[in-house]
Chain A
Amino acid sequence: EAQVTQNPRYLITVTGKKLTVTCSQNMNHEYMSWYRQDPGLGLRQIYYSMNVEVTDKGDVPEGYKVSRKEKRNFPLILESPSPNQTSLYFCASSGGVSYNEQFFGPGTRLTVL
């Protein structure tokens, strides 16, 4: 089944404790992206990657890092999480004949205390 997976789905952590949210897609898509969803703000892009080793900032990159060492994986790293990063995070991918349609993962709900 074609899909985007994220882990963990739920995470509660404390300020300053480094964490990584993994994202993987099995559709051989070139493009991957991370968004955060906050009430009343819709989805805002954090980082995106056009291909392996190619990443760029989105609209709200502060406090986040990403890497794209393999085509299928695009982890999101919070080196020193803060309470304002409490949010719902989505990974998405697109490519091939569906390059203009993004496929979304199920989301990761992060709480930073």
Chain B
Amino acid sequence: AQSVTQLDSQVPVFEEAPVELRCNYSSSVSVYLFWYVQYPNQGLQLLLKYLSGSTLVKGINGFEAEFNKSQTSFHLRKPSVHISDTAEYFCAVSGSSASKIIFGSGTRLSIRP
């Protein structure tokens, strides 16, 4: 069975500071990994995804994530955050089919001026 753990429910950072949102997964099969962002009162939007190939994945809005198979992690990073990055971020894992995607519990990123 697959599962996803987001270690931090809330992450406060100052504007222009770097941020890392942590995600660990467990799976007995090959996985696809995703990060979604949810802005206030909106649906989820895909930030980036890892399917295969390079373990460093670049997404929208300056975010990137690194797939680490040995540590079963897929942490999300941004070198300098902006007020507009305030949102909730969800890590997700799936197998070869999109029929079953497991979401983490989410990390709320709050940016302080």
Residues of B within 8 A of A35 (CB): 103
- In the complex, the answer to whether A106 meets B51 with C-beta atoms within 8 Å is no
- In the complex, the answer to whether A101 meets B90 with C-beta atoms within 8 Å is no
Residues of A within 8 A of B101 (CB): 33, 45, 102
Interface segment, one of A14-22, A36-44, A64-72: A36-44
Q: State which of A44, A99, A106 has its C-beta within 8 Å of the C-beta of B42.
A: A106
Q: State which of A43, A44, A102, A107 has its C-beta within 8 Å of the C-beta of B98.
A: A102
Q: State which of A45, A92, A104, A105 has its C-beta within 8 Å of the C-beta of B100.
A: A45
CB distance from B75 to the nearest CB of A (A): 17
CB distance from A25 to the nearest CB of B (A): 12
Interface SS of A by simple majority: strand
Number of interface residues of B (CB under 8 A): 25
- In the complex, the answer to whether A42 meets B43 with C-beta atoms within 8 Å is no
**In the complex, what residue of chain B is closest to A109 when comparing beta carbons?**
B41
The 5 A-B pairs with the shortest beta carbon distances in the complex, nearest first, are A104-B43, A42-B103, A43-B103, A42-B105, A104-B44
Could you list 16 examples of A-B contacts with CB < 8 Å? A31-B98, A35-B103, A40-B9, A43-B90, A44-B103, A45-B100, A48-B99, A92-B44, A99-B97, A99-B98, A101-B49, A101-B98, A104-B43, A104-B45, A106-B42, A106-B43
A residues with CB within 8 A of B: 4, 31, 33, 35, 40-45, 48, 50, 56, 90, 92, 94, 99-102, 104-107
